[in-house]
Structure 1
Amino acid sequence: MKAEFIAGNVNMRNFTAPYTFVEYPKHVTLADGSYVVVNNAEEEAAAVGEEGDLRDALMAEARALGLDPHHRTGAEKLKQMIEQSKEQS
């Protein structure tokens, strides 16, 4: 049995695919030189500390209401937690 020859330069395999940029997850370098993997913009802002005093104030308010938020919780999530807590009481 002899192999059949296909005329022309035909590559039946596609090794490349169009590149689509995905921003997250990504590594973020912290102030101390270590890095952490973040999955969205809120986590990135919390890790880098861009939210600053607002986030700290919301964290203190949440703890005063008896909530126990995670130390990496962003400002938006803290606002939602506080609003839900106030609605329930």
Structure 2
Amino acid sequence: MNKPKKLVVHLDKLLEEKNITQAQLARKAGIDPSRLSSLIRGKRERIQVEFLTLIAEALGIDKIEEILTLEDAESDEENKLIASKNVK
């Protein structure tokens, strides 16, 4: 049987590594700061490909696994978007 999965967002770590704030990334990517904040906190249920593409381009990233990874989940985390700082 397949183990449940969760989608983990690693933007908090990327922002720190690249020494850029959420506001700077939002401006550079041309996206709404509140949408970016909710993604970083793992509060979004859906993510548009265009949104991820804008973020990746703004950060100079060409591998999506730098932003998102699919990881094993506990049953209460199954099929959820989780902020990397909240990963157990």
Structure with the bigger RCO (C-alpha within 8 Å, sep 6+) is: 2
**TM bucket, shorter chain:** under 0.3
Normalised by the size of structure 1, how large is the TM-score? 0.23
Higher strand share: 2
Normalised by the size of structure 2, how large is the TM-score? 0.23
Higher helix share: 2
